[in-house]
A and B are shown apart, each in its own frame.
Chain A
């Protein structure tokens, strides 16, 4: 009960003050009273003495004892007079009012007075008498002591009685005042504390309220504000204002929270839809093993990976990263992954898929979003991996022994910017247990708490020496990244995909290097070398012949026309087989000559018009699937490829 506590505190103070006042009044007043009453009594006694002295002088002289006695008896009746006694000059008691006799204590006073000799003024002496207690004896001389002396005993007991009566009355009044005061105080405090109690209850109910409706007790508080203009009403007003403010705040908060919840729930759905767009890796061909993870920095992200079949023979592998983050990136991601998959399943090569997807995605892209894409097509029969790149970080190949190599990139522009862009592609042959490690820049740009990037160097360090299957390798890399990030907030979407080529392909990467002098007799050596190489790699006679024809043409061309000096030169040939490709590369230090620029033979021309020269290059082109030329380091480098799967028809 708070009001009682308040009352108790006030009461304690009041009681303390009361006790102090009471004690002061009792002690000080009784002392003061005693003094003033004593003085009054003494003067009264003196007056009586004087009066008796005046009256008794004659009587004593006349020795009228009876009259003196009756005089004394009269004075004895005066209030406060204990006794009256007259002595003669010899000190004998002439008359007195004691019954039955004079107490012996008065003799002491007598002796004291006598010892002082004659006296003119009255002498006051305190004496204890059994009958009256403390008595003040006033002794005055009659005719300067010549006749005798008069004793009047004034009892102090009556003084004390009077004092105690007065004090008691005072105390009674004080007590009454105190009780009335306490009573009034109680009501006053109750009057003050009742609204406080209401306000307390109000504050408590405010704390427990859900603010869906006004607090029930508010009406009482409103009454408090109207009734009077004091601190309580101000406080009540402040409380009502507080409640109104809380209501308004809670309302705004509820609206905001509801809106936020709605957005959150939509984002969650968006995230689920986005995650359902990336493949689940359940239907993986036996030739490969795949591990992949896409971890958006927010609810939804702009990263993606994809894996889809094109017929029985090809598997497309794709990793992409849309510029920006969040919803805008996610929407463009959805468009990108869908577009690439749709175009990819038409059977086009990676570069062509990128070209078409880019052309479509450039349309209606007002926000200028773009996406980096790495797209590769894995030949599930041979392990040949043809790829094209649109501004994406270069993937790595991790071989069985733990060695790494970054894929040689094509410089493709990001998708979404230039609709006419033409992408190039390259190819690489995967050995058994080679792992392609594809990633988005969320990996290379993963930040530690100090803001340092993981970098490509971090990936290379983490991958080097790693062995194991795709999941183990990926998990090891992911753990290294997590350790590096060390709990820092994820700054960008992060995607990792590891594709392991598990199939063993026979006779791949068989290589042979040989050189020839610039002597036409070396053609025989060429035929011998090709025959041996073909036999070792089980190459059909027809393919062997095609290669012979093409290489002989190129080599003889160089020997005949490649040098304008008469020095000896070496022409290098590199033969290799990978998958279904038989590749030969010739390098010579002769004068620049690009076979691609030579004139085509017009096969439709009449026989007479057919040129006899230039036939060789026509043959080279006719018998190869690829003819490439580059001039590098002052060398002509001609590369030809023939498919070993070519059949006679």
Chain B
């Protein structure tokens, strides 16, 4: 997994490439926690290049979402592929997150 961040219109965009699995999830988790610690409240998690998410990944998304809420922040999951979208649906976590299909729509969400 590779992770890069950039800021567009005060929104932090996290581009992840590869698998978010048991091995890589801790790295994602610590990176995102660090962002929150730096005061980031609005973030876009770009799934365009994520081809796999394990339950550890879901755990991270859930954790971040949980931490953002009391801060009045928001996270948008962008360009989630069909398979992973299916996982969100089947696992029952779909309704918790906001999904968009493009960066433009993501930015418009804030």
Contact = CB atoms under 8 A, between A and B. Distances in A.
A420 interface: no
B92 A622 contact: yes
A589 interface: no
Interface string A538-554: 00011001101100110
Nearest to B54: A552
Interface residues of B, number: 27
A615 B92 CA distance: 11
A648 B91 contact: no
Contact of A552 (B21, B63, B69): B21
Contacts of A575: none
A622 B90 CA distance: 6
Interface in A598-645: 601, 603, 607-608, 610, 612, 615-616, 618-619, 622-623
Interface in B1-60: 19, 21-23, 52-56, 58-59
A520 interface: yes
Q: Is the interface of B mostly helix, strand, loop or mixed?
A: helix
A642 B48 CA distance: 27
A623 B93 CA distance: 13
A524 interface: yes
Nearest to B22: A556
Contacts of A224: none
Contact of B54 (A548, A607, A610): A548
Contacts of B86: 542, 648-649
Nearest to B57: A549
B96 interface: yes
A67 interface: no
Interface in A497-542: 520-521, 523-524, 527, 541-542
B26 to A, nearest CB: 10
A523 B87 contact: no
Nearest to A550: B55
Contact of B59 (A523, A615, A648): A615
A464 B65 CA distance: 64
Contacts of A546: 87, 90
B83 A552 contact: no
A207 B65 CA distance: 112
B82 interface: yes
Given A545-B52, A548-B54, A622-B90, A527 B66 contact: no
A617 to B, nearest CB: 9
B52 A548 contact: yes
A546 B53 CA distance: 10
Given A612-B59, A623-B90, A523 B21 contact: yes
A596 B37 CA distance: 37
A541 B92 CA distance: 20
Given A553-B55, A607-B69, A542 B83 contact: yes
Given A521-B23, A527-B19, A607-B96, A619 B55 contact: yes
A607 B70 CA distance: 11
Contacts of B92: 601, 603, 618, 622
Contacts of A608: 66, 69
B62 interface: yes
Contacts of A541: 83
Interface in A376-418: none
Contacts of A601: 92
B82 A610 contact: no
A610 B62 contact: yes
B84 to A, nearest CB: 8
Contacts of A623: 87, 90-91
Interface in A66-98: none
Most chain A beta carbons < 10 A, residue from B55, B58, B82: B55
A523 B90 contact: no
Given A542-B82, A607-B69, A615-B62, A553 B54 contact: yes
A352 to B, nearest CB: 26
Contacts of B54: 548-549, 552-553, 556, 619
Nearest to B23: A523
Interface in B86-106: 86-87, 89-93, 96
A549 B87 contact: yes
Most chain B beta carbons < 10 A, residue from A545, A612, A623: A545
A541 B22 CA distance: 19
A521 B21 CA distance: 11
B87 A545 contact: yes
Contacts of A524: 23
Contacts of A556: 22, 54, 56
A619 B52 contact: no
Contacts of B87: 545-546, 549, 619, 623
Nearest to A544: B83
A549 B84 CA distance: 10
A616 B54 CA distance: 8
A552 B55 CA distance: 8
Contacts of B56: 556, 616
B56 to A, nearest CB: 7
A126 B86 CA distance: 169
A607 B23 CA distance: 25
Nearest to A560: B22
A520 B62 contact: no
A616 B25 CA distance: 13
Contacts of B58: 615, 619
B71 to A, nearest CB: 13
Contacts of A619: 54-55, 58, 87, 91
Contacts of B53: 549
Contacts of B59: 612, 615
A545 B62 contact: no
A64 to B, nearest CB: 193
5 contacts: A541-B83, A542-B83, A549-B53, A615-B55, A618-B92
Which 4 pairs of residues, A with B, have the shortest CB-CB distance? A616-B55, A603-B92, A556-B22, A619-B55
Given A542-B86, A603-B92, 16 more contacts: A545-B87, A549-B53, A549-B54, A549-B55, A556-B56, A601-B92, A608-B66, A610-B62, A612-B66, A615-B55, A615-B58, A619-B58, A622-B90, A622-B91, A648-B86, A649-B86
